[in-house]
Structure 1
Amino acid sequence: MPAFQLSKAIVPGNKTIELIIVAKSDSFVIEDAATIPLLLFNKGCSYRERLEGWLKAEGIIPRKVMQFGTFETIIGSVAAGIGITIVPKSSVSPWINDGKLHAYCIPEPFNNVSTVFIRRKDIFYTNTLRSFVQALSPSENDLFGERVAVESR
């Protein structure tokens, strides 16, 4: 018997997160990933999996992968010129717009990820959590009832 039961997975309608490569350098080609350190979250991160999949498809084996636990450490290290990373475009827009970092597009199917919100059935819903979930999926009429919006994989 499971320790808890999931009530639902709420998937925002056709909203995806666009991923980009971020570097301090004003030039980048995917082959650079073989020599420039990759600054990534720990294994299990979907962004990292996208980059690793792209590199594998291109036949590129990175020489050095550095793992970090926080976004701030990764971006600070990229800004210092230590290496490159993969992140959601929206998370680094201010640095890109200021010219402190440079963004490079990633080809399909490696450039997008979907976000899924999963809740425990016995969770207490604060007004804050309710507002957050409704912001994820404003078109969902019955976020807290029996109907379940589930993405098929």
Structure 2
Amino acid sequence: MDLTQLEMFNAVAETGSISAAAAKVHRVPSNLTTRIKQLEADLGVELFIRENQRLRLAPAGHSFLSYSKRILALVDEARMAVSGDEPQGTLPLGSLESTAAVRIPGLLAMFNQRFPKIQLSLATGPSGDQIDGVLDGRLSAAFVDGPILHPSLDGIAVYEEEMVIVAPADQDAITDANQVSGISIYAFRANCSYRRHFESWFHAHHSVPGKIHEMESYHGMLACVIAGAGIALMPRSMLESMPGSHQVSISPLPTDWRYLNTWLIWRRGAKTRQLEAFIGLLEQTS
């Protein structure tokens, strides 16, 4: 079974005549007759009831026609998605939670307005999850902490984030990890790049954090810090967007640790027209 056979079948079903269908699809009648018989042999059923020079759909033909039309419609949609004048189709994106909350809401709204035929979806989570999603094809692209050195990935740096330590309000300014050695920290799962950055800062100062409590959101981290239960690391832009940020002590990390770049990454050689449209808008607005 191939697309040409489906097109021929649809034409015969609509016209009820081999000669009329042949003219419609620009083929000779004998070719249509042969290809329709091959299709019936492949399916193991008769699709048409033959009456003199006319053909009308058999019960199996009626059932098959709906599927045939859907298949050809999907093929047309796929062609338009990759080669049409206006990009369309799906664009599954991934993002760090902080980037999704603070950096890209306006970009996403503008993208939806400018490219209404592209169905954009967004999933948030730690960098590790987003990188895995891009590598296994679940995501077309993702905003992650960079740089990314994986040989199968391409990307561009898009945002610079200032990383700050969030501590209870009565905590003095933190300039050295030994000041908070053994104190509980609140962070995302182990595959979170920000968590790894925080732990590396401790280790670089020959210090260790206390118990690491894994949280699902920055709002949960902030609530625990406000309650005096420990400290957390987060982008300043994220902290300042949340109610309660005035109830904590804020200490920027030292210069060598202070800034991290957020990258948009995609699988090398797999940049779709939808993704090209998104990157173009991102570059215009950055």
TM-score by length of 2: 0.40
Structure 1 residue aligned with 2:186, among 23, 26, 39?
39
Q: Describe the SS at the equivalent of 2:256.
A: coil
2:239 equivalent in structure 1: 92
C-alpha separation in 2, matches of 1:106 and 1:117? 24
**What does residue range 1-153 of structure 1 map to in structure 2 within 5 Å?**
4=137, 8-12=154-158, 15-26=159-170, 27-29=172-174, 30-93=177-240, 99-119=246-266, 121=270, 125=274, 130=277, 133-134=279-280, 136-138=282-284
Q: Describe the SS at the equivalent of 2:246.
A: coil
Structure 2 unaligned spans of 5+: 1-134, 141-151
Q: What is the aligned-residue identity percentage?
A: 22
What is the CA-CA distance between 1:105 and the residue it aligns to? 1.5
Structure number with the higher helix fraction is 2
Q: Is the 8 A contact 2:188 2:195 kept in 1?
A: yes
What is the CA-CA distance between 1:3 and the residue it aligns to? 5.5
Larger radius of gyration: 2
CA RMSD of aligned residues (A): 3.2
Q: Is the 8 A contact 1:20 1:105 kept in 2?
A: yes
What is the CA-CA distance between 1:124 and the residue it aligns to? 6.7
**Alpha carbons of structure 1 residues 135 and 50: separation in structure 2 relative to 1, 3 Å:** farther
What is the CA-CA distance between 1:17 and the residue it aligns to? 0.6
Report the residue type matching 1:11 in the other structure. A
Q: How many residues matched?
A: 134
Deviations 1:111-139 (A, max 9, x none): 1111111235365739xx956x4564338
Q: Is the 8 A contact 1:11 1:137 kept in 2?
A: no
Report the residue type matching 2:162 in the other structure. E
C-alpha separation in 2, matches of 1:78 and 1:25? 9
TM-score by length of 1: 0.69
Q: Describe the SS at the equivalent of 2:274.
A: coil
Q: Describe the SS at the equivalent of 1:50.
A: helix
Deviations 1:38-96 (A, max 9, x none): 11111121211211111111111122111112222111211221110000011112569
